[in-house]
Structure 1
Amino acid sequence: MLTQRLAVFLPEEDAANQKYIDEWLRIVKENPDSCHEIWLTTALGYPTLERHREIAAYYKQISEKFRNAGIRVSLQINNTLGHGEFIRLRDCSGLVNGHTHPETMVSPSGVTSPYCFCWRGETFIQYNKEVAAAYAGFHPYRIWFDDDLRAMHHHPVERGCFCDHCIETFNKEYSHTFSREELIFAVNRGDISVRKEWIQFIRDGLYHFTYEIAKAAVRVSPDVRFGLQYGPNRRYTGYGYDFLFDAMRDASGKGVGFRPGGGAFDDNNPFDFIKKARILEWQIVETPDYIDDIRPEIECIPDVAYNKSANGIVFESDLYFAYGATAMSYAMMNREHEPLSYHAKEFALFSKHSEYWKRLSGINARTSHSGVEIAVSKQSYLRPLGENEADFRFEMEYYDVGFSPILGMPLTFRSGDRDKIYCLTGENAIGLSDDDVRELLARPVFADGRSIKRLMERGFDVFGVEAYETSVLMLSEQFLPCAVNEGIHAPRWDKLNIDAPGFTFLPKSDKVTPISQYFGANFTVGPLFPDNKTYPYGIAAFTVKTPYGGTWVVFGNQPFVYTSLARRNQFFSAMDLISEKKSLKAKLLEPLKAVVLPRVNDEDKVLCVSIVNATVGESGALTLLIRNPESERFSFQSGTVSDIPLSFEKKTTAEGMIEYFVHLPSLPGWSVGTVFCEREPKERT
């Protein structure tokens, strides 16, 4: 479950290596469940094949030492296409030597990257096949491809590959006669069919490159499987990276692993871990169903004591397991900057938290996220570019999450709930196709004003209002009597210190139910619509049933900027109304900055809810509302608290739904804990 990525072990340093490995194994043995696997790594750069074979042969010797101690051994390929020009600082004599002449990568403007290479180059493919075959000789459990296996970010080449060979091959395969300049124009400004062809051409080339390397390893080690290390790399190559996963699966006949990444190299700002967790989730959403190993990477760069602390590493681990990981990989000791005695403290904490992590991992393997699903298009890369947009802007992903993650509101990029509710932001609306829009119009959706304004401008004038952009600096909202506002203690909402555009609306249909209306913040602010006696400043929020059957709730006064407890509860109430209380499975009732992460099984039952206290101090006692738990046996566990039973009350709503009000102990600042409500194994049969 826990993997450590280790440094390159060089055969000429055998005595020091043996001493290091012995001490490392002693520490792991003294801290049970602190590490289950290591990744040995290929030499960074492009040394000669003879040097690779020498290191690989040495790995065959030392890998047995780890295996005999019960540690699984895998391999990381440090680089394939190339991370960038900085790699010149490493040994590259196997390719950059004046006589091999590998095929280098070329940018749209014709710039060449001398240390990054074209995936269609036969010389380069052959080199990588022989590297993979050499290291497969020590029979690693899984071979992981590092994240330079991509078409973007190969400094100084931002996007590839536009070399003469690639353009010639593309023209031949798709019956074109483009020059480089003509191809770039066609991909960005021409018929969308050319963009589709170019993207498929890149995907096919990277599939072939990856398959050939993987197959070379399989020929030497038939039981080996593969995995991909990756980060968020936009959509220059379309939606997802299934073409890479497919190549690994097709070459091996086995499931494929995925190690998502996303920075957060230190713990100076713990909120960065929450932002990274959402990026990790976004990447995982794009993976195919046959992925059998998801282990986010926790990176400490540089891996020194004064960069990321042991407690920071453990908090990050708690968080990613709470977000759905089934395993974890660490780049925290792949340089010998600190003595092993320092890392022993980290391993001791891993051992202490291991029971908690194992329990979360087991549940994550058979559950899905629950919560408000962020509406994101899979086809955004096919949208036409605007006249003033830069070339390749179509690659933007548009996965704006809207709400802050610390509102105590469950949010997700892919909900496992049977009855889903969606959140649409103005930014994400840009990427929606017409089919995406029609699908959302049939669903319950929470939207901001900019999103519906953009949809109306595209011809979807189905919301029963006129929408106007306006400054909200001198406007306040008055909550109107309606089902959404029942029980809300504060009658108004304003943002007098923010001069930013919001939206006001005038109803033009009796299907619109206003939730709040604007009024001037003081007597100097005149009406926006003097002739409208009912709503002289317009309405700020409303619900509407669309002609497609979905009910939308729209807030025009910047719902995603910041909020109060009353405002957040108003959002909860609106979501409950349009989803008939079927979608939000968990709510934190106290005004604590916290992340709430419920998990549901295939039967739509809640098995656990993790809570992240995103403040610097104790939370105090908490109350968590849970709907549809698998069991009424509620307990709490964290990395530092053993499983303890929790008290609760249950109440029946007017709709006949049972809600559970579960009482939690105080959570320390910047910590994670989980309420479990799963049935015992014997009860599931």
Structure 2
Amino acid sequence: MFSFRLYDVFDLTDSRFEQLLDFFRKYEGAADALTFFTTSTHAPIPLEAAKERVAVLKLRMQEARRRGFRAGINVMTTLGHHNEHLPHSLAGPYTRMTGIEGDVCQGSFCPNDERMREYVRELYRLVALAEPEYIWLDDDIRLANHRPVGQGCFCDTCLERFGVRTCATYTREQLKRQFNEGPEADKLAIRRQWLQHNRDTLNRLLQLIEQTVHEIRPDMPIGFMSGDRFYEGYDFPGMERTLSDNGETAVMWRPGGGFYWDERPAELTAKSHAIGRQVSLLPDRVTDIQSEIENFPYQRIRKSDRLTAVEAACHIAAGCTGAAYNVLSLTGGEPYDDEYGPLLRQLQKNRPFYDLLVGKLGRSKPAGLHTGWNMDSFAVQRLSGNWFEGYIGHITGHHALELFELGLPPAYSESAAVVSLLAGESVRAMSDKQIEQLLQNGVYMDGQALEQLCAMGYGEEVGFRVESSVREDCIEQFTDHPLNGAAAGRKRNCRQSFWNVPAAHLVQTQPGAAALSRIVNYANEEVSLCGSGIFENKLGGRIAVAGYYPWTMLHNQAKSIQLRRLMRWLSKDRLPAYIASFHKCNLWVREMADGRYGIVLLNSSMDQADDLALNIKTTSDRIRITDMQCSDTIVSASSSNGGYSSFLIPPVGNWDVRFIELV
């Protein structure tokens, strides 16, 4: 489903609202549904204000349905987002969201406070009685980033509930020490317990909402808006079970993240990967998955029509089945068509392409490289420091963004992975069984992950150890190993004096471990015989260790050649498809209902992609390429090698998308 989320509808005059509906009718197909916010501010509103607003929204929804749209309500604030419009927001003896230092957010509230739970019960009763076709919960149902509070909630009630769980008593100061001091095993244990406490807290709130809504409307679909919720324990399977009453009613999902304007278009694909992670945990029965596309705070030309349209396609490629657009401001008095007509025309024009992607790809899982994340990943965040001192890339999966820009496809589920990408301390969030399974397959890791695995007793399976770290003047030079191909002898200088990343001096510890590169300095003097290498262990697993800038500065030709060949080797040629030419592209590969691959290709460069070569694991010799206007081109294979057929793709414009399927 494709919907629009609309602020301030309750404040519009009847004639202004009629103009809004006329506007959407003019661009038929851009929207199937109109979803109305309960408020335009980010702290919970008093119940009396909520009652007045949903009474207006009830009439607005009736009129929208009369015009042919589905209509529902988005509860903008349940717990609250942060401090805003406080003099006219919820007040009273409710416990505010509290940080571990005792700081509080006046505009957000603790979900374990029984008085707040009574407020939530009455709020959702009012919303359900307004007869929406569905109810959306917004992304304030979380425990982090309620500014100025970073992570919550550490109020007395939450500490007491956690104490009951752990059979202990804690002050905030004591709990902070437990999180950050002492043996790593002890820190991991209590951090995992806190993540489970967070999961239980949110599920308890969602159960209250589900029961309240379904007592009034047993068949009411409830939608949940998510993000990359690592601190909350990423329990989307549990949340879906709760909201659906164990599958008895339909649940909708709206995965999201931040990409509000297009000054940094690479944030678009980063958001797609975050959305892919969120969707990967949902059961197949969840079929209405609308990506959040948000151009907040609605500075009209700060994000282009084209990139807004491309964003919807990329999020479908990552696993969504629709989109929820939050792109319009209704506060001005100008004609809607003057400001937003071009955007709606763009979305209307591309709607057949979105429908094609959804129809072909369904709920299939993207296959390729998995970043090693799981629901406990946040437990190992800064394991040797302050737990809450900002996110680290290997926790969120951001460490692999440049690899994906080389046209190497992501997998968001372990079950769809052909290679695992291990960074930092991420392995500490995994069980021994998970690690042993990974080491039987293909693994690409950095030096820190190697050190962790060796310390955990897996040195024999990984083939290398880190001798030392070198922090200045290091340059990588590729050896003449066959995997380097034409890149043999070439150098890669990532300039440690500007972007300081320690280089790992690796030592082979097992027979058969081979160097892919060595480390030299600016005088061409050898610093290390091995800066990266490969090894095949006795379990049959293939290991690659990258000690020199493993995740960044990958966009030169020599490194791209090496990495594409390396990923094929690690996967034992199970990599489903990849870009074989020197282009900056993102690729999502999914198996369609008929067993064939469906591929979504994004040219992630500001340059047009000419002479782009796509290698697909297939014996077929023809593909169909569909552009965003649903024009088709049939292309025959130019060559084949090792079970892969190579296809030359006709020119793809900058930041443009193609859908590719085997004929």
> What TM-score comes out, normalization by structure 1 length?
0.86
User: Could you tell me which residue of structure 1 aligns to residue 54 of structure 2?
Assistant: 56
Residue 346 of structure 1 deviates from its aligned partner by: 1.4
Alpha-carbon spacing, 1:169–1:517, altered in 2? closer, same or farther (3 Å): closer
User: Could you tell me which residue of structure 1 aligns to residue 95 of structure 2?
Assistant: 103
Alpha-carbon spacing, 1:674–1:217, altered in 2? closer, same or farther (3 Å): same
Whether the 8 Å contact between 1:105 and 1:113 is mirrored in structure 2 is: yes
User: Could you tell me which residue of structure 2 aligns to residue 81 of structure 1?
Assistant: 79
- Distance in 1 between the 2:189 and 2:507 partners? 40
Q: Confirm or deny that 1:248 pairs with 2:243.
A: yes
Whether the 8 Å contact between 1:502 and 1:558 is mirrored in structure 2 is: yes
- Distance in 1 between the 2:95 and 2:84 partners? 18
User: Could you tell me which residue of structure 1 aligns to residue 628 of structure 2?
Assistant: 639
Q: 2:22 aligns with which of 22, 26, 49?
A: 26
Residue 632 of structure 1 deviates from its aligned partner by: 5.4
Alpha-carbon spacing, 1:552–1:347, altered in 2? closer, same or farther (3 Å): same
Q: 2:280 aligns with which of 280, 285, 291?
A: 285
After superposition, what is the alpha-carbon deviation per residue over 1:489-545, rounded to whole angstroms, capped at 9, x for unaligned?
A: 55322317444422233334322133344456546x3x54xxxxxxxx412332212
Q: Confirm or deny that 1:219 pairs with 2:215.
A: yes
Whether the 8 Å contact between 1:586 and 1:625 is mirrored in structure 2 is: yes
- Distance in 1 between the 2:458 and 2:61 partners? 61
Q: 2:648 aligns with which of 663, 667, 671?
A: 663
Task: Please state whether the residue corresponding to 2:486 is helix, strand or coil.
Answer: coil
Q: 1:299 aligns with which of 291, 294, 306?
A: 294
- Distance in 1 between the 2:659 and 2:593 partners? 20
After superposition, what is the alpha-carbon deviation per residue over 1:393-423, rounded to whole angstroms, capped at 9, x for unaligned?
A: 6986352433503212223332664x72222
Task: Please state whether the residue corresponding to 1:82 is helix, strand or coil.
Answer: coil
After superposition, what is the alpha-carbon deviation per residue over 1:324-351, rounded to whole angstroms, capped at 9, x for unaligned?
A: 3210011111433463112222111111
Whether the 8 Å contact between 1:416 and 1:601 is mirrored in structure 2 is: no
Q: After alignment, is 150-159 or 178-187 more displaced? A: 178-187
Alpha-carbon spacing, 1:451–1:403, altered in 2? closer, same or farther (3 Å): farther
**In percent, how many aligned pairs have the same letter?**
23
Residue 259 of structure 1 deviates from its aligned partner by: 1.2
User: Could you tell me which residue of structure 1 aligns to residue 607 of structure 2?
Assistant: 617
- Distance in 1 between the 2:475 and 2:125 partners? 68
User: Could you tell me which residue of structure 1 aligns to residue 559 of structure 2?
Assistant: 567
Residue 581 of structure 1 deviates from its aligned partner by: 1.0
Residue 352 of structure 1 deviates from its aligned partner by: 0.8
Alpha-carbon spacing, 1:634–1:173, altered in 2? closer, same or farther (3 Å): closer
Residue 644 of structure 1 deviates from its aligned partner by: 2.6
Residue identity opposite 1:662 in structure 2: F
- Distance in 2 between the 1:670 and 1:475 partners? 32
Task: Please state whether the residue corresponding to 2:625 is helix, strand or coil.
Answer: strand
Q: Confirm or deny that 1:673 pairs with 2:658.
A: yes
Residue 88 of structure 1 deviates from its aligned partner by: 0.8
Residue identity opposite 1:369 in structure 2: P
Residue 47 of structure 1 deviates from its aligned partner by: 3.8
- Distance in 1 between the 2:348 and 2:155 partners? 51
Q: Confirm or deny that 1:355 pairs with 2:352.
A: yes
Alpha-carbon spacing, 1:614–1:427, altered in 2? closer, same or farther (3 Å): farther
- Distance in 2 between the 1:481 and 1:165 partners? 61
Task: Please state whether the residue corresponding to 1:110 is helix, strand or coil.
Answer: coil
User: Could you tell me which residue of structure 2 aligns to residue 7 of structure 1?
Assistant: 7
- Distance in 1 between the 2:474 and 2:134 partners? 60
- Distance in 2 between the 1:183 and 1:481 partners? 51
Alpha-carbon spacing, 1:199–1:498, altered in 2? closer, same or farther (3 Å): closer
User: Could you tell me which residue of structure 1 aligns to residue 424 of structure 2?
Assistant: 426
- Distance in 2 between the 1:251 and 1:540 partners? 51
- Distance in 1 between the 2:596 and 2:60 partners? 45
What is the Cα-based RMSD across aligned positions, in Å? 2.9
Task: Please state whether the residue corresponding to 1:130 is helix, strand or coil.
Answer: helix
- Distance in 2 between the 1:319 and 1:373 partners? 18
Q: Confirm or deny that 1:467 pairs with 2:466.
A: yes
- Unaligned residue ranges in structure 2 (runs of 5+): none
User: Could you tell me which residue of structure 1 aligns to residue 113 of structure 2?
Assistant: 121
- Distance in 1 between the 2:381 and 2:346 partners? 51
Q: Confirm or deny that 1:372 pairs with 2:361.
A: no
User: Could you tell me which residue of structure 2 aligns to residue 164 of structure 1?
Assistant: 156
Residue 262 of structure 1 deviates from its aligned partner by: 1.3
Whether the 8 Å contact between 1:473 and 1:496 is mirrored in structure 2 is: no
1:242-281 matches, within 5 Å, as 242-250=237-245, 253-281=248-276
- Distance in 1 between the 2:427 and 2:398 partners? 10
Whether the 8 Å contact between 1:249 and 1:255 is mirrored in structure 2 is: yes
- Unaligned residue ranges in structure 1 (runs of 5+): 529-536, 679-685
Alpha-carbon spacing, 1:675–1:514, altered in 2? closer, same or farther (3 Å): same
Residue 194 of structure 1 deviates from its aligned partner by: 4.6
- Distance in 2 between the 1:267 and 1:131 partners? 36
Task: Please state whether the residue corresponding to 1:136 is helix, strand or coil.
Answer: helix
Residue 185 of structure 1 deviates from its aligned partner by: 3.5
1:200-599 matches, within 5 Å, as 200-235=196-231, 237-250=232-245, 253-337=248-332, 339-341=335-337, 342-383=339-380, 386=383, 389-392=385-388, 397-402=395-400, 404=402, 405-414=404-413, 417=416, 420-426=418-424, 428-429=426-427, 431-462=429-460, 463-468=462-467, 469-471=469-471, 473-482=473-482, 484-485=483-484, 487-488=485-486, 490-495=488-493, 497-499=495-497, 500-518=501-519, 522=523, 525=525, 527-528=526-527, 537-563=528-554, 564-582=556-574, 584-599=575-590
> What TM-score comes out, normalization by structure 2 length?
0.89
Whether the 8 Å contact between 2:280 and 2:319 is mirrored in structure 1 is: no
Residue 673 of structure 1 deviates from its aligned partner by: 1.4
- Distance in 2 between the 1:586 and 1:81 partners? 44
Whether the 8 Å contact between 1:76 and 1:143 is mirrored in structure 2 is: yes
Alpha-carbon spacing, 1:2–1:478, altered in 2? closer, same or farther (3 Å): closer
Task: Please state whether the residue corresponding to 2:459 is helix, strand or coil.
Answer: coil
Q: Confirm or deny that 1:17 pairs with 2:8.
A: no
User: Could you tell me which residue of structure 2 aligns to residue 65 of structure 1?
Assistant: 63
- Distance in 1 between the 2:396 and 2:44 partners? 36
- Distance in 2 between the 1:117 and 1:204 partners? 17
Q: After alignment, is 30-39 or 288-297 more displaced? A: 288-297
Task: Please state whether the residue corresponding to 1:132 is helix, strand or coil.
Answer: helix
- Distance in 1 between the 2:192 and 2:495 partners? 46
Whether the 8 Å contact between 2:44 and 2:79 is mirrored in structure 1 is: no
Residue 440 of structure 1 deviates from its aligned partner by: 2.0
Residue 251 of structure 1 deviates from its aligned partner by: 8.1
- Distance in 2 between the 1:548 and 1:195 partners? 32
Alpha-carbon spacing, 1:31–1:646, altered in 2? closer, same or farther (3 Å): farther
Alpha-carbon spacing, 1:373–1:366, altered in 2? closer, same or farther (3 Å): same
Residue 186 of structure 1 deviates from its aligned partner by: 4.0
- Distance in 2 between the 1:577 and 1:146 partners? 44
Alpha-carbon spacing, 1:449–1:127, altered in 2? closer, same or farther (3 Å): closer
Residue identity opposite 2:578 in structure 1: K
Residue 58 of structure 1 deviates from its aligned partner by: 2.2
Residue identity opposite 1:356 in structure 2: F
After superposition, what is the alpha-carbon deviation per residue over 1:602-633, rounded to whole angstroms, capped at 9, x for unaligned?
A: 78x4432222112223222422111137x655
Alpha-carbon spacing, 1:580–1:62, altered in 2? closer, same or farther (3 Å): same
Task: Please state whether the residue corresponding to 1:616 is helix, strand or coil.
Answer: coil
Whether the 8 Å contact between 2:82 and 2:148 is mirrored in structure 1 is: yes
Alpha-carbon spacing, 1:663–1:547, altered in 2? closer, same or farther (3 Å): closer
Alpha-carbon spacing, 1:379–1:83, altered in 2? closer, same or farther (3 Å): closer
